């Protein structure tokens, strides 16, 4: 019988073949080597996120004082541990350890793709100080967002169990199912892999003298991305997204495959 690691490896190989056939903005495919590397790292990030959520499903049971049900569910009160509880710091440490290496490689891959596309040597590696700093900053934002979502999901799960009058066993089963969600792992990987790749590409363009950037999207781009296609702004300016947010580069939504063309 295959081990769990062997099954995850086989799943990652399948991921690469499936996602290679998706619509990507052409700059991602300009370098076949870095495109395949992007897909493999996206698959690895999905596995890492999935394994983290699997462990979180069990740990999350300890973040609820089940003896207090059915107390009201509030942001920092009720049976769910509050936002300042040391448990969340520990969750951030666990998630950081799970994804930092892959995020670092994704940022490096974006920088290497820049070298291929723009033909200006820079010699970046995953051991470059600027790459490692960018990875730490990226992961810091990622784990903060994931942890905030986790707290919200736990509160919502417990509130739903209370509203439905579920017993303790059913309440715990509901929470574990919500935490161990492969769709959430896929969403994290699809979005953060592009973000990290584009972080590396931006870093490369910035340090090699690019002055402007143009949003380049797919023909069938969504309502958020379509108005940005062809828009050219300064390299450090933010694209004004239609939903009121601003972004330095893609991804601006889950599974965003748009790209940026840098102008020297």
**Same domain as 129, residue 188:** yes
pTM of the model: 0.89
How would DSSP label each residue in 189-219?
HHHHHHHHHHHHHHHHHHHTT--EEEEE--T
Q: Are residues 149 and 255 in the same domain?
A: no
| H-state helical runs in the chain | 4-20, 32-59, 86-118, 129-164, 168-179, 182-207
Q: Examine the domain organization and report whether 214 and 199 are in the same domain.
A: no
Q: Are 150 and 180 in contact (CB under 8 A)?
A: no
> Which DSSP category does 64 fall into?
B
Q: Are residues 255 and 145 in the same domain?
A: no
Q: What is the mean pLDDT of each run of 10 residues along the chain (264 residues)?
A: 71 71 87 94 96 97 88 62 90 97 96 94 82 94 95 93 90 96 95 96 95 90 88 96 88 91 96
For residue 80, give the nearest of 22, 161, 13, 5 by alpha carbon.
161
Q: Are 54 and 180 in contact (CB under 8 A)?
A: yes
Close Cβ partners of 45 (under 8 Å, ≥ 6 residues apart):
99, 102, 103, 106, 188, 189, 192, 193
CB 232 within 8 A of CB 214: yes
Tell me: do 160 and 229 sit in the same domain.
Answer: no
Question: In terms of domains, do 192 and 214 share one?
Answer: no
Q: What pLDDT is recorded for position 222?
A: 86
pLDDT at residue 7 in the model? 62
How many domains does the chain contain in total? 2
Using the 3D structure, point to which of 208, 239, 254 is the last residue of a domain. Answer: 208
Same domain? 171 vs 263: no
What confidence score (pLDDT) does residue 3 get?
Answer: 84
Last residue of a domain, one of 182, 208, 234: 208
Examine the domain organization and report whether 228 and 164 are in the same domain.
no
- Report the C-alpha gap between 17 and 26 in whole angstroms: 17
- Of the chain, the end-to-end C-alpha distance in Å amounts to 54
Q: Could you list the residue range(s) of the whole structural domain that residue 117 is in?
A: 4-208
Mark whether 34 and 108 lie in a shared domain: yes
User: What per-residue confidence (pLDDT) applies to 135?
Assistant: 95
């Amino acid at each position: 019988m295959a081990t769990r690691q062997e099954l995850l490896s086989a799943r990652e190989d399948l991921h690469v073949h499936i996602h290679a056939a998706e619509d990507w903005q052409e700059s991602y495919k300009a370098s076949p080597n870095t495109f395949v590397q992007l897909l493999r790292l996206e698959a690895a990030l999905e596995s890492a996120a999935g394994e983290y959520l699997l462990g979180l499903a069990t740990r999350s049971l300890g973040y609820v004082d089940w003896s207090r049900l059915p107390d009201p569910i509030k942001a920092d009160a009720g049976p769910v541990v509050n936002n300042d509880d040391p448990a969340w710091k520990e969750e951030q440490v666990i998630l950081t350890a799970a994804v930092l290496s892959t995020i670092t490689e994704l940022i490096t891959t974006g920088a290497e793709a820049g070298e291929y596309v723009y033909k200006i040597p820079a010699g970046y590696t995953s051991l470059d100080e600027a790459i490692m700093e960018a990875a730490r900053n990226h992961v810091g934002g990622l784990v903060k967002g994931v942890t905030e979502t986790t707290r919200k999901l736990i509160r919502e799960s417990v509130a739903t169990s209370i509203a439905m009058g579920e017993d303790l066993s059913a309440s715990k089963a509901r929470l574990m199912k919500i935490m161990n969600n492969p769709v959430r792992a896929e969403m994290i990987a699809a979005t953060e892999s592009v973000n990290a790749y584009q972080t590396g590409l931006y870093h490369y363009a910035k340090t090699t003298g690019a002055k402007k950037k143009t949003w380049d999207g797919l023909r069938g781009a969504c309502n958020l991305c379509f108005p940005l296609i062809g828009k050219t702004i300064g390299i450090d300016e933010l694209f004004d997204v239609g939903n009121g947010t601003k972004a330095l580069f893609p991804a601006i939504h889950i599974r965003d495959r748009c790209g940026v063309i840098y102008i020297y």
